[in-house]
Homo-oligomer: A and B are copies of this chain.
Amino acid sequence: MTQPDFSAALPWQLSERARKLTSSAIREILKITERPEVISFAGGLPAPATFPVEQMRVAAERILREDASAALQYSATEGYLPLREWIARRYSSGGAQIRASQVLITTGSQQALDLLGKVLICPGSPVLVETPTYLGALQSFSMYEPRYVQVPTDDDGLIVSALTPELTAGARLLYAQPNFQNPTGRRLPLARRKALAELAQHAAFPVIEDDPYGALDYAGEPLPTMLSMAPERIVHLGSFSKVLAPGLRIGYIIAPEALQFKLVQAKQATDLHTPSFTQRIVHEVVKDGFLDTHVPAIRALYRDQCAAMLAALERYMPAGVSWNRPEGGMFVWVSLPGSIDSMALLEEAVAHNVAFVPGGPFYASEAQASTLRLSFVTVPPAQIDDGVARLAKLIQARL
Contact = CB atoms under 8 A, between A and B. Distances in A.
B15 A144 contact: yes
Interface stretch (A257-265, A297-305, A345-353, A356-364): A257-265
A256 interface: yes
B143 A118 contact: yes
A29 to B, nearest CB: 14
A72 B60 contact: no
A63 B107 CA distance: 21
A268 B61 contact: no
A120 interface: yes
Copies in the complex: 2
A15 B73 contact: no
Interface residues of A, number: 90
A133 B285 CA distance: 41
A217 interface: no
A271 B247 CA distance: 11
Contacts of A45: 73-74
Contacts of A241: 74
A228 interface: no
A172 interface: yes
Given A21-B262, A51-B69, 9 more contacts: A6-B258, A13-B120, A17-B118, A24-B265, A48-B68, A110-B271, A118-B143, A249-B272, A271-B271
Interface of A: 3, 5-18, 21-24, 27, 43, 45-46, 48, 51, 53, 56-57, 60-61, 64-65, 68-75, 77, 106-108, 110-111, 114, 118-122, 125, 136, 139-140, 142-144, 172-173, 204-206, 233, 241, 245-249, 256-259, 261-262, 265-266, 268-278
9 contacts: A6-B261, A21-B266, A22-B265, A45-B73, A48-B72, A51-B68, A143-B269, A249-B274, A277-B278
